[in-house]
Chain A
Amino acid sequence: MNALTAKSDASTLLYMEDVTVSFDGFKAINQLNLYIEEGELRCIIGPNGAGKSTMMDIVTGKTRPDKGVVTFGGDIDLLALDEPEIATIGIGRKFQKPTVFEALTVFENLEVAVEGERSPGFNWRYGLSNLQKERIADVAEIIGLSDQLGAPAQILSHGQKQWLEIGMLLVQKPRLLLVDEPVAGMTHQEMDRTGELLVSLAGSHTVVVVEHDMDFVRSLDSRVTVLHQGSVLAEGSMTDIQANTEVKRVYLGE
C-alpha cells in the first residue's frame, strides 16, 4: 500500500497540514494533510459530506480552521488573509453550485473577473485595457461562448454556465485553480471538452478538481486523493485507488 500522503518539498504550491475544522462539534475536516505540487492536476474524490467543499472553503478564506497550517507558494500564510486577498495572490475558485452573475452579459461576467486592478476608484474611472480585452476574447473562444458575449448570463444552459465560470477563472489568471464539481449537469460531449480543457491547463497552472463522476476522473488520468470523513483515506493513481481495499469498502461500494 502507498504512503497516505506524499511528502512536501520545495515545489509544493499548496500545503495543508494537520487542518481541523468542526461545525457544532462535528469535524468536517479532521487532521487533513494535503500537498499539491506546482503545475500538477489533482483530483479529489470522496463520498458526499467528506469535506471536499469545506477544504476549498478553507483554502479560499471562507472558513477558518480550528487548527492547522495552510500555506501557498512556500511562504504565504493563507490563514492570515481574507477572501479578496487570497484571490489577489492567485487562487481562483469555481463553486460547486455554478454562480455566474445572472444579470450581467457573458462579456461583462468575464470583464468583472479579468485579472487587473480591483479598487472601486480605479474601476469607476478606467475601462478595460487592450490586453484585458484580448484575454477576454481568447478565453471566450476557449470556452465556446464567443458568439454569446452579448447575451445575459441567465439565458445560458447549465453546461454553458459551468463553462462561463471556468472562463471567469481563466481570465483571472490564477496560479492555483480550485474547481468544485465542474461537470455536474453536463452532457457527455460537454464533459469530454471540459476534461480536455482541464488537462490542457495543467502545467501552466495548478489545478485541483473535486468530482463525483468516476468516468470523468478516470479520463483526467491524474493523481487522485480520496477524502473520507475529513481526512485523506488514500492517494495515488486511479488504478492504485481502485485496487485499494479500504477505498472499495467506504467509497466504491464494493
Chain B
Amino acid sequence: MMGTLLRGDRGGQVLLTVLAICAVVMPMCNLMLPVEHPWHVSTYQLNLFGKYLCYALLAMSVDLVWGYMGFLSLGHGAFFGLGGYAMGMYLMRQIGDRGVYGNPELPDFMVFLNWESLPWYWWGFDFFPVALIAVFLVPGLLAFIFGWLAFRSRVNGVYLSIISQAMTYALMLAFFRNEFGFGGNNGLTDFKDILGFPISAQGTRVALFVASAVAVIAGYLLCRSIVQSRAGRVVVAIRDAEDRARFLGYRVESYQLLVLVISAMLAGLAGALYVPQVGIINPGEFSPLNSIEIVIWVAIGGRATLYGAVLGALLVSFSKSWFTAVLPDYWIFALGALFVLSTLLLPAGVAGITRRRVTST
C-alpha cells in the first residue's frame, strides 16, 4: 500500500523515512538519555519540533490546493485556527473547577463576562471524541461552504485568493469579540490536562510530538493517494486548463470542493495538534499575515511535490527560531529576502534542487 503510494516519489520516501526515524529515536533520546549526554534531546526542543511539524502539515494542505489545483489560498490560517479552537475548547472544559474563579460549570472568561450558562455551541466539548470530530468537521464545513459558493460561480485566480483572505480576516474580527464566546482577545489558554494527562508533563509533550509526526506521515500518504490517482491527474488538468476539463465531461467544481475540504481538514488537524503544544489559541491565528506566511513556506519549499511544502515549513521555521534569537527585529525582512531569493534563484523551490522529473506511464 505505502509502496504504491510513494512510487516515483523519491523526496517523499526520504522524507517519510527520516520523519519516522525521528518519531522513534528523538523521544528515546529524550526519555532514556541523561541530560548531560551529548545526544540528549531536551523536552523544549522536542516540543519546538512538534510545533513545526504542525506547520509542516499545514503547509502540505496548502500545497494540495495551490500546487496541484491552482488555488492560491490566502486563508488557510482560518482552517488551522478553527481546528485549534475546537481542540482548545476541549482543553478549556478539562480545566473544570481549577480556573481562577473555581467555577466548575463555566470557563473563566465566561464567568468574567457574567454569563449564566454555557452557550449551546460549547455543548459536548467536555468529551474528546466530540472535539475530535469538530476538529475535522468545522474547518471542513467552512471549506465546503466557501468552495460551494466560489467554485460553482466559477470565481478563480486572484479574486478567489482575495476572498479567501477576507474569510480569515472576518473570522479574526469575529473571534476578537468577547460576545462571540471564544475568549475574545485572550483566546483560550491556561490548559491543564489532555485526556487526563497533565499537559506540560514530559511524557505528554513526547506523546504530542509523536502524534504530530504520525499526523504528518499519515497526511502525506493521504495527499499522495489523491495526487497519484486518476483524480489527481484530473485536478492538475483543472489547474492547467479548467475549461478543457469541463468539455471532457468533468464536473470541475466537485473535484475542487473535494480537494479543498480534505485540505481544510488536514489544516484543522494541524491546528488541533498545535494548540496543546503551545498552550494557547487566540484570534491572532486568523491573521491574514499568518496565511501569507504559509504560502511563503510552500513557495520556498517548492510547489506540487508535497515534500517540498514540508521541507519549506521546517526550514523557514527553524531559521525563524534561530534568527529571532540573534536579530529579533529583522526576521520579517529576512523572510522577505528568503522569499524573493528563492523565487529568483529556485523557481521550483528547495525541492527543485534535487528533483528529477519522474514520468509515469
A90's nearest neighbour on chain B, judged by CB, is B249
Stretch from B75-83, B182-190, B202-210, B226-234 contacting the other chain: B226-234
Cβ of B21 < 8 Å from any Cβ of A? no
Instruction: Report the minimal beta-carbon distance from A33 to chain B, rounded to whole angstroms.
Output: 24
Q: Mark A163-180, 1 if CB is under 8 A from B, else 0.
A: 000001000100000000
Instruction: Report the minimal beta-carbon distance from A150 to chain B, rounded to whole angstroms.
Output: 4
Stretch from B51-59, B89-97, B132-140, B250-258 contacting the other chain: B250-258
CB-CB under 8 A from B247, the residues of chain A are: 60, 62, 83, 87, 92-93
Does A120 lie within 8 Å of B361, measured CB to CB?
A: no
Cβ of B48 < 8 Å from any Cβ of A? no
Instruction: Report the minimal beta-carbon distance from B268 to chain A, rounded to whole angstroms.
Output: 20
Known contacts A120-B258, A124-B231, A126-B230; is-contact A103 B248 (Cβ 8 Å): no
Does B243 lie within 8 Å of A62, measured CB to CB?
A: yes
Cross-interface CB contact of B234 among A60, A62, A95, A123, cutoff 8 Å: A123
A126's nearest neighbour on chain B, judged by CB, is B230
Does A112 lie within 8 Å of B248, measured CB to CB?
A: yes
Does A101 lie within 8 Å of B249, measured CB to CB?
A: no
Cβ of A149 < 8 Å from any Cβ of B? yes
Known contacts A93-B247, A107-B361; is-contact A124 B226 (Cβ 8 Å): yes
Bound-complex Cα distance A105 to B234 (A)? 12
Cβ of A102 < 8 Å from any Cβ of B? yes
A-B CB pair tally, cutoff 8 Å: 92
Bound-complex Cα distance A112 to B241 (A)? 12
Does A151 lie within 8 Å of B234, measured CB to CB?
A: no
Cβ of B290 < 8 Å from any Cβ of A? no
Does B361 lie within 8 Å of A105, measured CB to CB?
A: yes
Q: Mark A88-100, 1 if CB is under 8 A from B, else 0.
A: 1000110100011
Cβ of B359 < 8 Å from any Cβ of A? yes
Bound-complex Cα distance A84 to B239 (A)? 17
Find residues 253-276 in chain B having any chain A CB closer than 8 Å to their own CB: 254-255, 258
Cβ of B225 < 8 Å from any Cβ of A? yes
A62's nearest neighbour on chain B, judged by CB, is B243
Chain B: residues with Cβ within 8 Å of the partner, total of 30
Cβ of A249 < 8 Å from any Cβ of B? no
Instruction: Report the minimal beta-carbon distance from A95 to chain B, rounded to whole angstroms.
Output: 7
Instruction: Report the minimal beta-carbon distance from A146 to chain B, rounded to whole angstroms.
Output: 11
CB-CB under 8 A from B359, the residues of chain A are: 105, 150-152
Interface centre among B232, B244, B247, B251 (most CB of A within 10 A): B247
Cβ of A128 < 8 Å from any Cβ of B? yes
Cross-interface CB contact of A168 among B236, B248, B251, B360, cutoff 8 Å: B248
Does A87 lie within 8 Å of B236, measured CB to CB?
A: no
Cβ of A125 < 8 Å from any Cβ of B? yes
Known contacts A62-B243, A150-B361, A152-B359; is-contact A111 B250 (Cβ 8 Å): no
Cβ of B357 < 8 Å from any Cβ of A? yes
Bound-complex Cα distance A103 to B68 (A)? 10
Does B240 lie within 8 Å of A101, measured CB to CB?
A: yes
B241's nearest neighbour on chain A, judged by CB, is A99
Does B231 lie within 8 Å of A123, measured CB to CB?
A: yes
Cβ of B246 < 8 Å from any Cβ of A? yes
Cβ of B237 < 8 Å from any Cβ of A? yes
Find residues 49-95 in chain A having any chain B CB closer than 8 Å to their own CB: 60, 62, 83-85, 87-88, 92-93, 95
Cβ of A119 < 8 Å from any Cβ of B? yes
CB-CB under 8 A from A112, the residues of chain B are: 230, 233-234, 237, 245, 248
A125's nearest neighbour on chain B, judged by CB, is B229
Does B241 lie within 8 Å of A111, measured CB to CB?
A: no
Bound-complex Cα distance A123 to B228 (A)? 10
Does B231 lie within 8 Å of A104, measured CB to CB?
A: no
Does A120 lie within 8 Å of B236, measured CB to CB?
A: no
Does B255 lie within 8 Å of A101, measured CB to CB?
A: no
Does B246 lie within 8 Å of A120, measured CB to CB?
A: no
CB-CB under 8 A from B248, the residues of chain A are: 87, 112-113, 118, 168, 172
CB-CB under 8 A from A60, the residues of chain B are: 247
Bound-complex Cα distance A92 to B249 (A)? 9
Instruction: Report the minimal beta-carbon distance from A8 to chain B, rounded to whole angstroms.
Output: 25
Does A88 lie within 8 Å of B236, measured CB to CB?
A: no
Bound-complex Cα distance A199 to B159 (A)? 45
Does B244 lie within 8 Å of A84, measured CB to CB?
A: no
Q: Mark A200-218, 1 if CB is under 8 A from B, else 0.
A: 0000000000000000000
Cβ of A127 < 8 Å from any Cβ of B? yes
CB-CB under 8 A from B234, the residues of chain A are: 112, 120, 123
Q: List 29 A-B contacts (CB under 8 A).
A: A60-B247, A62-B243, A84-B250, A84-B251, A87-B249, A99-B243, A101-B244, A102-B240, A104-B237, A107-B361, A108-B360, A111-B230, A111-B233, A112-B230, A120-B255, A120-B258, A121-B231, A124-B230, A124-B231, A124-B232, A124-B258, A127-B230, A128-B230, A149-B361, A150-B360, A150-B361, A152-B357, A152-B359, A168-B248
A sample of 11 more A-B contacts (CB under 8 A), given A101-B240, A120-B258, is A87-B248, A95-B244, A102-B240, A108-B233, A111-B230, A118-B249, A119-B254, A121-B231, A149-B361, A150-B359, A152-B357
